[in-house]
Amino acid sequence: MSRARASRGFTLLELIVVLAIGVTMYALLLSAPFGKASAGDLKAAAREIAAGLRTAQSTAMTTRRDALMTLDMESREFITTGERQPRRISSNIDLKLFTAQTEVASEHRGSIRFYPDGSSTGGRVTVGSGERQYLVDVDWLTGRVAINQNE
């Protein structure tokens, strides 16, 4: 009779092990990023865009001609005047461009223009994922490029 009674249920140790496994799986599931970019990825993308903007400004000043950094939000690529290959931004990063109306080529493509004296049309590129965003600002008067975190 003791064998029949033992086979009808689970021991306390078995229940604790199953609950511990369940809690661990639940915690792992909730902490998964679900396609969001990490803080490091966002910062790297913002820095890369800022570097592209600074390259365009330097190109304008050294060649004494207008230079552009053109951003395509749909393909997540940007290119500056004088470069042969566009640079790519990760697909899990959202991009937004605020620029002068004269520099908007289409709904998904626009530019920030730099002039030979270092000034620019000004603008902002927002690099984000979820709630976290970095703002890459270009001052129109000085052409200064700055990265700010938007919380």
Q: Where are the domains of the chain?
A: 2-31, 39-150
What distance in Å separates the CA atoms of residue 47 and residue 3, rounded to the nearest whole number? 69
pLDDT of residue 2: 54
Q: Residues 6 or more apart from 33 whose CB is under 8 A from it? A: none
Q: Residue written as tokens 């927002």?
A: 126
pLDDT of residue 110: 97
Q: Residues 6 or more apart from 13 whose CB is under 8 A from it? A: none
Strand-pairing partners, residue 111, are 70
pLDDT of residue 35: 66
What distance in Å separates the CA atoms of residue 114 and residue 67, rounded to the nearest whole number? 5
Question: What DSSP string describes 69-113?
Answer: EEEETTTTEEEETT-SS-EE--TTSEEEEEE-GGGEEETTEEEEE
Q: Residue written as tokens 């790519």?
A: 88
pLDDT of residue 68: 97
pLDDT of residue 9: 79
Q: Are 105 and 112 in contact (CB under 8 A)?
A: no
pLDDT of residue 26: 79
- For 39-150, CATH number out of 3.55.40.10, 3.40.1710.10, 3.50.50.60, 3.40.50.300 equals 3.55.40.10
Whether the model clears a pTM of 0.85, i.e. scores above it, the answer is no
- Phi then psi for residue 95, to 5 deg, are -120, 140
Q: Are 127 and 117 in contact (CB under 8 A)?
A: no
pLDDT of residue 32: 53
pLDDT of residue 23: 85
Q: Residues 6 or more apart from 55 whose CB is under 8 A from it? A: 69, 80, 82, 83
Q: What is the pLDDT along the chain (151 residues), one digit of tens a residue?
A: 455 555 677 888 888 888 988 888 877 766 555 567 788 899 999 999 999 999 999 999 999 999 999 999 999 999 999 999 999 999 889 999 999 999 999 999 999 999 999 999 999 999 998 889 999 999 999 999 999 998 6
